[in-house]
Chains A and B, each alone.
Chain A
Amino acid sequence: MSRARADEEEYWHSSKFRAFTFDDEDDELSQLKESKRAVNSLRDIVDDDDDDLEKVSWSGEPVGRRNRLPSLPSLSDAFSDTGVKNYAPELRRPRAEYKDYSNDWSPRDTVRRMQRGKVCSLERFRSLQDKMVLLDEAVAGHDGNVITAVLIFLKRTLRREVLFRELEVRQVALCHLIHFLKETGEQKLLLDLLRFLDRTEEVALSQYREHLNIQDVEKKREFLKGCIGLPFSAEDISHIQDHYTLLERQIIIETNDRHLAMAGQSEIFRKYPRKASILNMPLVTTLFYSCFYHYTEAEGTFSSPTNLKKTFKIPDKQYVLTALAARAKLRAWEDVDALLTTKNWLGYTKKKAPIGFHRVVEILQRNNAPVQVLQEYVRLVEDVETRLNLATKYKCHDVVIDTYRDLKDRIQLMAYKCKVERGSAEEEKINSLLSNMQIRWKN
């Protein structure tokens, strides 16, 4: 009993005049609209071309007019009913409309009519209970169009907290409202709703999404900084943090490099002018850029590759791959060599490639590395078959010859002779191998 009264009270405080609440952003706007409607309603019905739409709207009616004007079906219905083809503007509201007028559609009938594309007046549904019956009917009809229409009506005529509370137990309607708010870009209300529902991760992602709409990088950086404190899932938070750090870093590098490039004193920027800014690029692209323009910098500088590697915990494999691509593009073969050389504690050096030497070869080849460079790495490909394939493909004759020798494959070696130039050192080498009595050929 007392519960019912509380509800009723709440309704009267929440549902009648939106203009009396203070927390709405577009209060002024809605007041203006209301007064415009009031003025419009004084005019002759037939003259006012635009006004019929308001009369039939489902968006909350001005009180004074509720009983004066009938709710009208849409024009198109009337046309299809009467088959009239064209009207001069002042005749656009055919008489047939009045026949169709009814003030007491049940919630179910209202929903059904709306489903058939007819426009219905919703302002009759005044009590919270009526409104919820209407909403439930709309949901039961599964027509999102109608559900959304009812939700717009509810959004306008119910206090936010009441609406949220009611939707919490109506999941389908809730999803529609969330979708609708996303679509229409009502971010603030959306976030309030998600917060109310305790869907914190969604709040975080939804807020984070906003950064896509920010063009100015400084503002974007500030915005991302603000995102770090949001309730992301444990897995996501480190990525968001990285995103912020990366943009921060890119801004520093960009300012610096633009300056360098303009001054024209740095050889690398003169020789290879930048094609685009580094802002908003992915991490790996940034690393590539840094390996290209800032390879030799000490770890202490923000733009040095090693600093990036450390800050973002870039795995070895990824690092080598990117650095290799950048240095090969510059044809800096000594850098490539150094990158793949490791020293053990005795001071011996050894070639090592966490990505596999076949990948090294591919990358070098794509950058038109000379055969001398290429064959050094082809030789290191472990799998014999792959090694032979690569060596043959890229004409690393020495490697092919040595491999066949190691395989003691006389027939293949003989066959290969026709692929090398006549009178070349390679041909000579093959000949001398074939005539070498010490080798015990397998065939």
Chain B
Amino acid sequence: MAAHLSSGRVNLTALREAGRRELREFLDKCAGSKAIVWDEYLTGPFGLIAQYSLLKEHEVEKMFTLKPGRLPQADVRNIIFFVRPRLELMDIITDNVRREDRGRSPQRDFHILFVPRRSLLCEQWLKEQGVLGSFIHREQYSLDLIPFDGDLLSMESESTFKECYLESDQTSLYHAAKGLMTLQALYGTIPQIFGKGECARHVANMMIRMKREFPGSQNSIFPVFDTLLLLDRNVDLLTPLATQLTYEGLIDEIYGIQNTYVKLPPEKFAPKKQGEGGKDLPTEPKKLQLNSAEELYAEIRDKNFNAVGSVLSKKAKIISAAFEERHHAKTVGEIKQFVSQLPHMQAARSSLANHTSIAELIKDITTSEDFFDNLTVEQEFMSGIDTDKVNNYIEDCIAQKHSLIKILRLVCLQSVCNNGLKQKVLDHYKREILQTYGYEHILTLNNLEKAGLLKLQTGGRNNYPTIRKTLRLWMDDVNEQNPNDISYVYSGYAPLSVRLAQLLARPGWRSIEEVLKMLPGPHFEERQQLPTGLQKKRQHGENRVTLVFFLGGVTYAEIAALRFLSQMEDGGTEYVIATTKLINGTTWIKSLMEKLEPAPF
């Protein structure tokens, strides 16, 4: 079930196993039959840790979605709420508990499992509502780092960036540090820590402090990771704003990948059987899981989309050739062999069919005029063209009322690529946006300014060109088919964050001190002492393993770029990626927007 987690350099199955154990232990505390009431947001992340079968083995008989009103009838001994510590959810729980029929027999016991942390604020809230006493077990399930793939971990905490940079609330950094401690408990102390940014500094400090304060955390496990690199998202605000151009990145940009699942429009996936033409077209979205367990997906996910088509057609030829073999199978032995390969071949064929359909869907969009225009503007900004004046295309998009998020992405991108906009330009955009989308969005614009995504150019100096040139962020001769540089993931733009990781590995950050100083926050290096017995003696030719932790989110294109570096023949470093949340420009901007009441229709 979780084979893909052990495919990488670091076997992440152990982490998943630890999560499952903790879950089982909690379930067993509530003796007897149970029903789980789910905070819907959590079902996705939990699905990556445990399937329903595990819950069933521990007497979970029913599952409900958390919503106000009376809880459904279910003859179970225990009702367990699995929730994030949020006040609005506490109100729903309060409502549920109050409406519970006290006279019913047998009575049901209530419990709460907070994910990832118990919250004193929430408990206080429940207490003020007078229902706290109704809960027998109130516990926490520290689902800090969830394994998404063999080289990918995420906390799936959507509000981290907002909390850190708008509200100065570092709670999720605390969770990140806790997650790293868990990781070290399982995979050994990481001897070297590098970091860039305020949040990175905080996390490193907390790790060092935790290590000091909990002597039990000294372990005797041989370290799997050589280096930890902590990166603040605000060191590189540019990358997530640009449209990702890898296969996986585009799937995420267009359809949104959630907890490795994507929902696609069903039309392209209709079964092609004759005689049933158009009789019952599926109306439910097609749901697919995307991870490296699927061989074909693992091969194409990180490619530039322009290189996906040729792989798919090559695969198609191989598969049809393989099916042709059956005509050549003459002897019983040959037929037997063919039959034994059949399941694998059929799986490969359906995988190919799915990805061909997805690629078609994406192609419809990437070949559209608007996609092209949008991309052209993005690339102009990133390569430093006309970033200091009002852009026609953006104006047109506003006039045509394209989605506000799209507009904000572009305007922010321009601002970041110009180290802030001139007063006149900024005022113009703001005015157009407010007049077209509503004045209340002034709150969102304010948030973006606070986060540094939108700003006024001060001092009249734009240092982006220096950063771009020094870090070689824009590459004119990009090879999308057979890339030789990470810039292929954005067809020309090399993600700044990944460039920092690359330069850290070779030749080291000392070579870019000047640029590091231009980027926000401190950069630093820490060492964690290892007992002599655990110090690594590297075999000749053995790669180093670096864990890159993106505080505030990472995009699939950045992940692709790091995987590309891992696979470089003379790279010398393999990367495992951790993050607070998998993001794209849209979800990221959304998390910074002010929640507005729905229009009163």
List residues of chain A with CB under 8 Å of any chain B CB. 49-50, 53, 57-59, 74-76, 79, 85-87, 92, 112, 114, 117, 119, 141-146, 148-149, 152, 171-172, 175-176, 178-180, 183-184, 205, 208-209, 211-213, 215, 235-236, 239-240, 242-243, 246, 276, 279-284, 312, 314, 317-318, 321, 355, 359
Q: Closest 8 interchain pairs by CB?
A: A144-B171, A50-B133, A175-B168, A243-B439, A149-B120, A282-B438, A283-B435, A284-B436
Bound Cα distance from A37 to B601, whole angstroms: 47
Task: Say yes or no: is B321 at the interface (Cβ < 8 Å to chain A).
Answer: no
Q: How far is the CB of B311 from chain A (nearest CB, A)?
A: 34
Task: Say yes or no: is B173 at the interface (Cβ < 8 Å to chain A).
Answer: yes
Are B442 and A239 closer than 8 Å at their CB atoms?
yes
Bound Cα distance from A213 to B598, whole angstroms: 10
Q: How far is the CB of A174 from chain B (nearest CB, A)?
A: 8
CB neighbours (8 Å) of B133 from chain A are: 49-50, 53
Q: Give the contact stretch, choosing among B44-52, B134-142, B268-276.
A: B134-142
Are A183 and B87 closer than 8 Å at their CB atoms?
yes
Q: How far is the CB of A165 from chain B (nearest CB, A)?
A: 19
CB neighbours (8 Å) of B300 from chain A are: none
Are A149 and B435 closer than 8 Å at their CB atoms?
no
Task: Say yes or no: is B399 at the interface (Cβ < 8 Å to chain A).
Answer: yes
Bound Cα distance from A85 to B121, whole angstroms: 26
Q: A143-B174, A312-B435 are in contact. Are A58 and B31 (CB under 8 A)?
A: no
Q: Which of A57, A144, A184, A213 meets B597, CB within 8 Å?
A: A213
Closest to A86 in B: B31
Are A144 and B596 closer than 8 Å at their CB atoms?
no
Task: Say yes or no: is B472 at the interface (Cβ < 8 Å to chain A).
Answer: no
CB neighbours (8 Å) of B599 from chain A are: 280-281
Closest to A355 in B: B399
What range describes how many residues of B lie at the interface?
Answer: 35 or more
Are B434 and A149 closer than 8 Å at their CB atoms?
no
Q: How far is the CB of A296 from chain B (nearest CB, A)?
A: 24
Q: How far is the CB of B82 from chain A (nearest CB, A)?
A: 15
Are B443 and A58 closer than 8 Å at their CB atoms?
no
How would you classify the secondary structure of chain A's contact residues: helix, strand, loop or mixed? helix
CB neighbours (8 Å) of A119 from chain B are: 120
Are A212 and B596 closer than 8 Å at their CB atoms?
yes
Are A242 and B168 closer than 8 Å at their CB atoms?
no
Q: How far is the CB of A288 from chain B (nearest CB, A)?
A: 10
Are A239 and B120 closer than 8 Å at their CB atoms?
no
CB neighbours (8 Å) of A180 from chain B are: 121
Q: How far is the CB of A385 from chain B (nearest CB, A)?
A: 14
How would you classify the secondary structure of chain B's contact residues: helix, strand, loop or mixed? helix
Task: Say yes or no: is B29 at the interface (Cβ < 8 Å to chain A).
Answer: yes
Are B597 and A145 closer than 8 Å at their CB atoms?
no
Q: How far is the CB of A347 from chain B (nearest CB, A)?
A: 32
A-B contact sample (9 more), CB < 8 A, given A282-B436, A318-B432: A50-B132, A75-B137, A85-B29, A142-B173, A145-B119, A171-B168, A172-B168, A243-B439, A284-B401
Q: How far is the CB of A193 from chain B (nearest CB, A)?
A: 14
Closest to B202 in A: A142
Q: Which of B121, B136, B432 meets A92, CB within 8 Å?
A: B136
Bound Cα distance from A318 to B140, whole angstroms: 54
Bound Cα distance from A176 to B127, whole angstroms: 21
Are A282 and B435 closer than 8 Å at their CB atoms?
yes
Are B127 and A53 closer than 8 Å at their CB atoms?
yes
Task: Say yes or no: is B525 at the interface (Cβ < 8 Å to chain A).
Answer: no
Q: How far is the CB of B195 from chain A (nearest CB, A)?
A: 15
Are A149 and B121 closer than 8 Å at their CB atoms?
yes
Task: Say yes or no: is B458 at the interface (Cβ < 8 Å to chain A).
Answer: no
Q: How far is the CB of B56 from chain A (nearest CB, A)?
A: 19
Bound Cα distance from A281 to B401, whole angstroms: 13
Q: Which of B29, B177, B442, B597 meets A240, CB within 8 Å?
A: B442
Are B169 and A179 closer than 8 Å at their CB atoms?
yes
Residues of B127-159 at the interface with A, using a CB-CB cut-off of 8 Å, are 127, 130, 132-133, 136-140
Bound Cα distance from A235 to B433, whole angstroms: 14
Q: How far is the CB of B447 from chain A (nearest CB, A)?
A: 10
Residues of B419-471 at the interface with A, using a CB-CB cut-off of 8 Å, are 427, 430-432, 434-440, 442-443, 446
CB neighbours (8 Å) of B213 from chain A are: 112
Q: A74-B138, A85-B28, A152-B121 are in contact. Are A280 and B171 (CB under 8 A)?
A: no
Bound Cα distance from A215 to B601, whole angstroms: 11
Task: Say yes or no: is B594 at the interface (Cβ < 8 Å to chain A).
Answer: yes
10 residue pairs of the A-B complex, CB under 8 angstroms, read A50-B133, A53-B127, A76-B137, A143-B174, A209-B443, A212-B440, A279-B600, A283-B435, A283-B436, A317-B399
Bound Cα distance from A320 to B206, whole angstroms: 58
CB neighbours (8 Å) of B440 from chain A are: 211-212, 243
Are B169 and A235 closer than 8 Å at their CB atoms?
no
